Amino acid sequence: MTYALYILLFPLFAGSLVGIFGKPLRALPSQLLTTLGVAISFILSAILFYQFIFLNHAPINQVLYSWAVADQLHLNIGFMIDRLSVMMALVVTFVSLLVHIYSFGYMYDDPSKQRFFSYISLFTFMMLALIFANNFLLLFFGWEGVGLMSYLLIGFWFQKDSANAASMKAFLVNRIADFLFLVGIAGVFAYTHSLEFSQAFIAAPSLAQTSITLFGHPASVLTVLCLLIFCGAMGKSAQMPLHVWLPESMEGPTPISALIHAATMVTAGIYLVARLSPMYQLSPTALSVVMIIGATSALFMGILGLVQTDIKRVVAYSTLSQLGYMMAGAGASAYAASIFHLFTHACFKALLFLAAGSVIIALHHEQDMRKMGGLARKLPITYITFLCGALALIALPPTSGFYSKDSIIDAVQQLNAVGSSYTYWCLTLGVFITALYTFRCFFLVFHTPTRVDDPAHVHETSSTMWIPLIILAIPSLALGYLLFKPLIIDSPSWFGNSIVANHAALQTAAAMALDSLSHLPFWLMLAGVFTAWLCYVRFPKLPTWFATRLSLIYIVLVDKYGFDRLNDFVFVKGTRKLSQFFFAIVDVKVIDEGAVHGSGKLIAYLSQWARKLQSGYLYQYVLVMILGLLVLLFWQI
């Protein structure tokens, strides 16, 4: 428990000190202080990881203190430390530490370095608070905290209108999802009279048997609560149709893209479903919804990566696709495989983003792949590390991505539930799409003829940038092989999960890699790499030929299925027109002219009329009094 508390406090104190005293401290001490705070958290997380994963330490669920009590509502601050939380903590602190180190070089010329390092340190703290929470209160605090910090980091270069628009888009989309999430939390409290996870898990069987009527149809209370909570997960983990904010987050500095996409914000939704797995396991309907939405995101977001020209956006759409794999795995009750893929994905996705950032810095902030090419010899370290990340992303045996992704596909294949067949084929076809867009990016950047404006001045980046690449390349290649047995074979039922991948029967990682050679995903992966080579190296005019022949499909993909256009028409323009209506009719006509000015005119008119009664003649006053008396008598009679 003490370790977990220190893991949270070191990034909090370092980020707060730099945020408050950053200018007096100067740039380098600020960078060193925040990096040291995250480094200590990483070391403590590694110790907890070893204790819980390899020594099978018993889970800890403890309340630190009671923040407030109001009738039945007990607002406690407490931690839950188990396999799930220590794995997540290790991922977050490891990637955050490397991002801190990488940012020494990437942000070298930026005048706001102190503010940047303060933000990412506090971002790490918020994510860790979310991870270690043992109740919905602390979880929601961390949940909203990562949303706030992502808003600040995506819009870090606030001088750019595009960065401001992207940060606002992320904020608003997540507010929609978080509102439904908050309704789900309120529902949990209404039925369990507690915000503790343990109480919600105890009450879950009875909630599954309790029905309510929605839109004239009976529904399980547990299913409704799970779906409302899942809406929050959809927003944070950018699942369709709430995915539109994530590609726009590329407007922030590249280290932030790596941190958001690899280890923090977007993984929160996956973590949430896994943490609440005792509830989801009792709702087959909710699990099917989770699985189908995840599979749809995995395939269709990957397809969009095929038409992107910005190197960071290609990696961003691959994040959307891989998050779909994780969500589909959670929906298939393969929670261990889903978190395993989150673990491996954090390494190779951070590697790809940081390698992309190395390319961008070497080309003086150029991000268009059409203006790259021939960089393999100019950037040898970046080239090799990017290749390592690409091989892990396409799940080539025996890289880390292979073990986690294949475990998810295998779990879905043996599942017999609503939407399982659809999910299997989406995930399987996604293997081909992933290989195609990944190596399209790889070949365009490194192997096609150079299209760089000034190739003579292109050189490898500084050591503070390429050292994290090498460090990340190692787990991207070897982590899956090392952790497959303790995470999948030895512990298949972490979260009440009864689904065990068929490959688990093979008992060893080497046997699984050899066995995969006879499976469809492996050959689809090779076909994707070969197709990318054919289209972008051997016959570079093929993509243009396909785009011309399939112009309608190409336009739909470039338009990103029209989601942004739809949102702009319905929500942005619709809200503006609704606002104009309320301003012109309700505000101006009804309130201003009717209520405010109208009441003044009415009083003025009545005053003018009443003034005529004040004639000064006594007989008129007596006449009015007599008429009034007669009216009163008539009323009484």
Q: Where do the domains of the chain lie?
A: 283-295+313-551, 563-636
**Burial readout 308-333 (b: 16 or more C-beta within 10 A, e: otherwise):** bebbbbbbbbbbbbbbbbbbbbbbbb
For the ranges 265-269, 423-427, 486-490, which has the lowest average pLDDT? Answer: 486-490
Give the tokens for residue 287. Answer: 């699990």
3-state SS, 494-542, equals CCCCCCCCHHHHHCCHHHHHHHHHHCHHHHHHHHHHHHHHHHHHHCCCH
CA–CA distances in Å: residue 386 to residues 54, 262, 342, 434: 31, 15, 19, 15
Residue 433, pLDDT > 90, answer yes
Helix (H, G, I), strand (E, B) or coil at 165: helix
- Amino acid identity for residue 291 in this structure: M
**Burial readout 81-109 (b: 16 or more C-beta within 10 A, e: otherwise):** bbbbbbbbbbbbbbbbbbbbbbbbbbbee
CA 329 – CA 338 distance, rounded (Å): 5
Mean pLDDT to the nearest integer, 255-263: 80
Residue 83, pLDDT > 90, answer no
Rounded to 5 degrees, what angle do the CA atoms 398, 399, 405 make? 95
pLDDT reported for residue 499: 41
Split at pLDDT 50, 70, 90, the class of 463 is confident
Q: For the chain, give the percent of residues with pLDDT over 90.
A: 25
Mean pLDDT to the nearest integer, 57-85: 82
- Quote the mean pLDDT of the chain: 85
Residue 247, pLDDT > 50, answer yes
Residue 501, pLDDT > 60, answer no
DSSP 8-state code for residue 317? H
Mean pLDDT to the nearest integer, 261-288: 88
Phi, psi of 135 (to 5 degrees): -150, 165
Residue written as token pair 């977050």: 92
Q: Which of 313, 358, 344 is nearest to 103 (CA)?
A: 358
pLDDT reported for residue 551: 85
Phi, psi of 475 (to 5 degrees): -65, -25
- What are the respective helix, strand and coil percentages of the chain, to the nearest 5? 75, 5, 20
Taking residue 145's Cβ as centre, other Cβ atoms within 10 Å add up to 18
CA–CA distances in Å: residue 430 to residues 164, 290, 426, 525: 33, 17, 6, 9
pLDDT reported for residue 515: 80
For the ranges 116-130, 292-306, 556-570, which has the lowest average pLDDT? Answer: 556-570
pLDDT reported for residue 128: 92
Residue 578, pLDDT > 60, answer yes
For the ranges 94-98, 248-252, 520-524, which has the lowest average pLDDT? Answer: 248-252
Burial (CB count <10 Å: 0-12, 13-18, 19+), residue 11: buried
3-state SS, 601-618, equals HHHHHHHHHHHHHCCCCH
Residue 431, pLDDT > 90, answer yes
Per DSSP, what are the bridge partners of residue 383? none
Residue 260, pLDDT > 50, answer yes
68: Cα separation from own chain's centroid? 30
Between 502 and 269, the higher pLDDT residue? 269
Residue 503, pLDDT > 50, answer no
Residue 388, pLDDT > 90, answer yes
Give, rounded to a whole angstrom, the gap between the first and last alpha carbons of the chain. 85
Between 38 and 112, the higher pLDDT residue? 38
pLDDT reported for residue 290: 93
CA 437 – CA 303 distance, rounded (Å): 8
CA dihedral 242, 244, 246, 252 (to 10 degrees): -140
Give the tokens for residue 119. Answer: 């933000």
Mean pLDDT to the nearest integer, 47-52: 88
Split at pLDDT 50, 70, 90, the class of 491 is low
pLDDT tens across 199-228, in order?
Answer: 899 998 998 888 887 777 788 899 999 999
Between 454 and 308, the higher pLDDT residue? 308
Split at pLDDT 50, 70, 90, the class of 497 is very low
CA 214 – CA 218 distance, rounded (Å): 6
Q: Which of 337, 344, 624 is nearest to 493 (CA)?
A: 337
Helix (H, G, I), strand (E, B) or coil at 245: helix
CA 298 – CA 305 distance, rounded (Å): 11
Query: How many helices (H) and strands (E) would you count in the chain?
Result: 27, 4
For the ranges 95-104, 152-161, 550-559, 589-598, which has the lowest average pLDDT? Answer: 589-598
pLDDT reported for residue 502: 45
Is-contact 143 124, C-beta < 8 A? no
User: How many Cα atoms sit within 13 Å of 551 on the Cβ side?
Assistant: 2
Claim: this prediction has a pTM higher than 0.75: yes
3-state SS, 138-161, equals HHHHHHHHHHHHHHHHHCCCCCCH
DSSP 8-state code for residue 83? H
Give the tokens for residue 463. Answer: 């050591």
Between 605 and 291, the higher pLDDT residue? 291
CA 455 – CA 522 distance, rounded (Å): 37
Rounded to whole angstroms, the maximal C-alpha distance in the chain is: 117
Which residues make Cβ contacts (< 8 Å) with residue 585, sequence separation at least 6? none
CA 213 – CA 21 distance, rounded (Å): 55
Residue 297, pLDDT > 80, answer yes
| Helix extents (H) in 414-508 | 420-446, 463-484
Residue 490, pLDDT > 70, answer no
